[in-house]
Structure 1
């Protein structure tokens, strides 16, 4: 009994911080989402309108377009980060000259704030002064202008996200690979299994929990991407890179539509939870079937 009280006492500061900065703001956003509220309008009071904000967003073409663009962005970014992260993790598991230096350089993007990442990529992709457009033009004769081409802007935002967050995936998978026992691999090699068979039937099932946790983290981060994209493209050209996070930002701040922006935030949180749950069930179901 004494140990339980001591445990709760030690957890109390953390629970208090989580409650004040996590739970309380969440319920406040839910409350605001059921109101029409523009604090800078002639009437700054909250006006209760029930589920009108949620009904409106179902038929909001701008929101639906941003949701579709976000799904595409998250899919290509997270898949690319997983593939590159695993390949780099396997590479860093081996010894080669300059390994420590390359690992240090590889992890540097993680210490950069998202708004700094967006600023750096903005400078690198500006047609007049950016190194990327100049190299593409001199090497391949390709004119890169993310201010005019929707496809180019989308691809650059994906590449920027991959550059920023692949090191996180690499570090997570390195930790998972280092902790794996060697007996299953030796047994598989004795049985004549090839590298592909070992990967699918030995390595992947054993690192599945780490992969799942990494996907959850990256999925939640990618769905709420705002800073980098807002600094790089501003959501343009047109609405090509107006992802959900950018759409919420523009609804809440420039248009000061706090009620409708809060409703979008609640729906995005709900969709994120549903997608994570589906991934969790989808990855665990084959393992449970195999055990049965």
Structure 2
């Protein structure tokens, strides 16, 4: 009984912080989502409108378009980060000249604030002064202008996200790979298994929990991408990079539709939970059941 009380006492600061900065804000946003509220209008009071905000977003073409482009962005960014992160993790497990320098440079993007990342990429992709348009023009004769080409803007935002967050995937997978037991790999080599067989039947199943935890983290982060994209493209050209986080920002701040923006936030949170749950059910639950 004493140890149980001590456990709750040690957890109490975390529970208080979670309640103040997690649960209470969510309840407040959920409450606002059932209202029409513009605090800067002549009548700044909340007007309860039942589920009108949720009905509106179902038929909102801008919301549906931003949701579609966001899911496309998340797919390309997260998959690329997983592949590159695994390759780099395997490479960093080996010794090679300049390994310490490369590891330090590779990890640097993680310590940069998202808005700084967007500013750096804005400078690098500006046609008149950017190094990337200059190199593409010199080497391939391609004029990069993310302010005019929707495809170029989308591609650059994906590459920027990969550059920013691949180090996180690399560090997570390095920790998982280092902790793997050596016996299954030695036995597989003795039995004549190839590298691809070892990867699919031994390495991947053993690192699956760490891999999925990393996927969950990156999914949640990618779905709420705002700062980098606002700084780099502002959601344009047109609506080609108006991801769901940017769409919510546009609704809440320039348009001051606090109720409608809150409803979109709640739906995005729900979709994030559903996607993570589907991944868990599809990849983890069957393995636990067989075990």
Q: Secondary structure at 2:239's aligned position in 1?
A: coil
Q: For the residues of structure 1 that align with 2:290 and 2:43, how far apart are their CA atoms?
A: 61
Report the equivalent of 1:138: 138
Size of the aligned set, in residue pairs, is 291
Q: For the residues of structure 2 that align with 1:67 and 1:21, how far apart are their CA atoms?
A: 26
Q: Once superposed, what is the RMSD of the aligned Cα atoms?
A: 0.8
**What TM-score results when the alignment is normalised by the length of structure 2?**
0.99
Cα displacement (A) at 1:5: 1.0
1:84-103 Cα offsets, whole Å, 9 max, x none, are 00000000000111111111
Q: For the residues of structure 1 that align with 2:49 and 2:177, how far apart are their CA atoms?
A: 53
Q: For the residues of structure 1 that align with 2:18 and 2:285, how far apart are their CA atoms?
A: 32
Q: For the residues of structure 2 that align with 1:177 and 1:73, how far apart are their CA atoms?
A: 28
Runs of 4+ aligned structure 1 residues displaced above 6 Å come to none
Show the 5 A alignment for 1:1-292.
1-288=1-288, 291=291
Tell me, which stretches of 5 or more residues in structure 2 are unaligned? Answer: none
Q: For the residues of structure 1 that align with 2:28 and 2:286, how far apart are their CA atoms?
A: 39
Q: For the residues of structure 2 that align with 1:40 and 1:278, how far apart are their CA atoms?
A: 40
1:232-287 Cα offsets, whole Å, 9 max, x none, are 00000000000000000000000000000000000000000000000011112452
Cα displacement (A) at 1:64: 0.2
Q: For the residues of structure 1 that align with 2:229 and 2:47, how far apart are their CA atoms?
A: 33
1:68-114 Cα offsets, whole Å, 9 max, x none, are 00000000000000000000000000011111111111100000000
1:18-56 Cα offsets, whole Å, 9 max, x none, are 101110000000000000000001110000000000000
> Structure 1 residues 9, 289: closer, same or farther in 2, change over 3 A?
closer
Cα displacement (A) at 1:289: 6.4
